[in-house]
Chain A
């Protein structure tokens, strides 16, 4: 049984003091139902996640108590991707005809504050000041720049592009372009990454309605098919966040594994993709994830980014809605935002951030602690 996405809804990302995270989730859910032309009582099941804004299944208090199974999903930054895979499989198996995926969050300002005990690491690791995701990202791109000759200017160009795209997206948080020099010269956070090269925790909500593909036309004239949804955790030897030690021999990370599995499931390859949303927790992540997902060779990013290939009108458009850099990262909603954006792109409804040329295939990728990746491939 193939699976289609027939309804999408989003609550603008950023800061919304007047609404709780749950209310932002409900706002997105109602828009998704409206988009599919259905009522909440038509939904047979739901998967959802929120890291800091309460249990996702509390959404039923807002939407109505209909008795459906609503399962909470918690998988770090890959929460949205994991919810989507769960819903995908629930329909693919034939168990249900139509369901909802929901994600929302509302985080405090400042860097995420992880607890070593929750990840099976000793308390000393946090006490000593090593329990910081920002350090991992900085050390990974530091090594990568050394090995593959990526320049500091290229780091800044990734942020510049993100803020340009954000300025074209009415639902983005950061909507003002920022110049390369200002990005490069902003406060150093973790060398070589400055303040404007990192995304920030934020708020927002996204909801998607999925159904069996042969029912899709009942709900929409423009169904988008979920051709693949995969999720992988780290294997021994991959260099990952929150690792007190790592192997002397490195192997490919979960992103490489999830990407390969997704291309195999969909029966397509990286060259077939028309638009990409790649986890850009910071600029280095976007650069490295271009190669890890198979869209270029290691080191080719320098020329690709300098030539503008990753811009909306380029040959390899990446993070057309501004990505995490311009939207911030509400953990529960972030991966679903990428899918929302790709549905817009494939419907041709992305407005000022629409990629040209009638895109047919679109790709999403999330990465999260402690070393997990989820990928989707959408086709219209």
Chain B
């Protein structure tokens, strides 16, 4: 069986039956931040707790990345196989707006305010065969 590893530790629960993005919430001012951090960007407080963010939200804004970025971009793509990808901020109710890649790259199928789910899927395969898992935002079917 393929070994699956998260793109970074602490971004989301993994492995998990129902993976979720992880934020830190400040116990002083109540503000959530993604990725989870040791201190609060809003009030400088250091009393924070990690919590799971909701798995569904609304698209706040978006674009399509039409050209392949230079490193540190790290996918399995080459200039020949690169496919434009969507990027957007998903507003997660009660949480924060998180930036991420979209599963959709057709501008005709994207609009501000649409509902999307946070999904977790293979992003690239490492030389040792490990599958690197990233989070994506996917239009609600």
User: Interface of A with B (CB < 8 Å)?
Assistant: 110-111, 113, 115-116, 122-124, 126-132, 134-135, 138-140, 142-143, 146, 187-193, 236-237, 243-248
A252 to chain B, nearest CB (A): 15
* Other contacts beyond A143-B60, A246-B99, A247-B31: 10, CB < 8 A: A110-B70, A126-B71, A127-B74, A135-B65, A139-B89, A189-B66, A236-B31, A236-B42, A246-B97, A248-B96
A123 lies within 8 A of B99 (CB):
no
B97 to chain A, nearest CB (A): 5
Pairs A–B under 8 Å by Cβ, sample size 25: A111-B67, A111-B70, A113-B71, A115-B72, A116-B72, A122-B35, A126-B69, A128-B7, A128-B123, A129-B69, A129-B87, A130-B87, A130-B100, A135-B65, A138-B63, A143-B61, A146-B112, A187-B66, A192-B63, A244-B34, A245-B23, A246-B89, A246-B97, A246-B99, A247-B97
CA distance A168 to B4 in the complex (A): 58
B28: Cβ under 8 A from any A Cβ: no
B69 to chain A, nearest CB (A): 5
B46: Cβ under 8 A from any A Cβ: no
Chain A residues in 8 Å Cβ range of B11: 122, 124
CA distance A243 to B41 in the complex (A): 12
Chain A residues in 8 Å Cβ range of B72: 115-116, 123, 126-127, 131
CA distance A142 to B43 in the complex (A): 30
CA distance A126 to B100 in the complex (A): 11
B129: Cβ under 8 A from any A Cβ: no
Q: Taking CB as reference atom, which chain B residue is nearest A237?
A: B42
A88 to chain B, nearest CB (A): 29
Partner of B64, one of A110, A127, A128, A190: A190
Interface size on B, residues (CB 8 A): 42
A124 lies within 8 A of B87 (CB):
no
B63 to chain A, nearest CB (A): 4
B120: Cβ under 8 A from any A Cβ: no
A253 to chain B, nearest CB (A): 15
Chain B residues in 8 Å Cβ range of A191: 63-64, 66, 107
- A-B Cβ contacts below 8 A, count: 115
A236 lies within 8 A of B69 (CB):
no
CA distance A248 to B88 in the complex (A): 15
Chain A residues in 8 Å Cβ range of B96: 245-248
Chain B residues in 8 Å Cβ range of A110: 70
Chain A residues in 8 Å Cβ range of B100: 128, 130
CA distance A236 to B45 in the complex (A): 13
Given contacts A135-B63, A139-B62, is CB(A245)–CB(B97) below 8 Å? yes
CA distance A134 to B43 in the complex (A): 29
CA distance A244 to B101 in the complex (A): 11
Chain A residues in 8 Å Cβ range of B134: 124, 128
B20: Cβ under 8 A from any A Cβ: no
B75: Cβ under 8 A from any A Cβ: yes
Q: Taking CB as reference atom, which chain A residue is nearest B110?
A: A191
B117: Cβ under 8 A from any A Cβ: no
CA distance A116 to B8 in the complex (A): 13
Chain B 13-45 near chain A by CB (<8 Å), digits 1 or 0: 000000000010000000101110000011100
Partner of A129, one of B23, B42, B85, B88: B85
Given contacts A130-B100, A143-B112, A244-B98, is CB(A123)–CB(B65) below 8 Å? no
CA distance A236 to B97 in the complex (A): 13
Partner of B42, one of A126, A139, A247: A247
CA distance A188 to B96 in the complex (A): 30
B88 lies within 8 A of A139 (CB):
yes
Partner of B66, one of A116, A190, A244: A190
Closest 9 pairs between A and B when the two form their complex, measured CB to CB: A126-B72, A138-B63, A124-B8, A245-B34, A143-B61, A127-B74, A236-B42, A139-B61, A124-B7
Chain A residues in 8 Å Cβ range of B8: 122-124
Chain A residues in 8 Å Cβ range of B91: 248
A127 to chain B, nearest CB (A): 4
Given contacts A143-B112, A190-B66, A245-B99, is CB(A135)–CB(B87) below 8 Å? yes
Chain B 68-109 near chain A by CB (<8 Å), digits 1 or 0: 011111110000000001011101000111111100000100
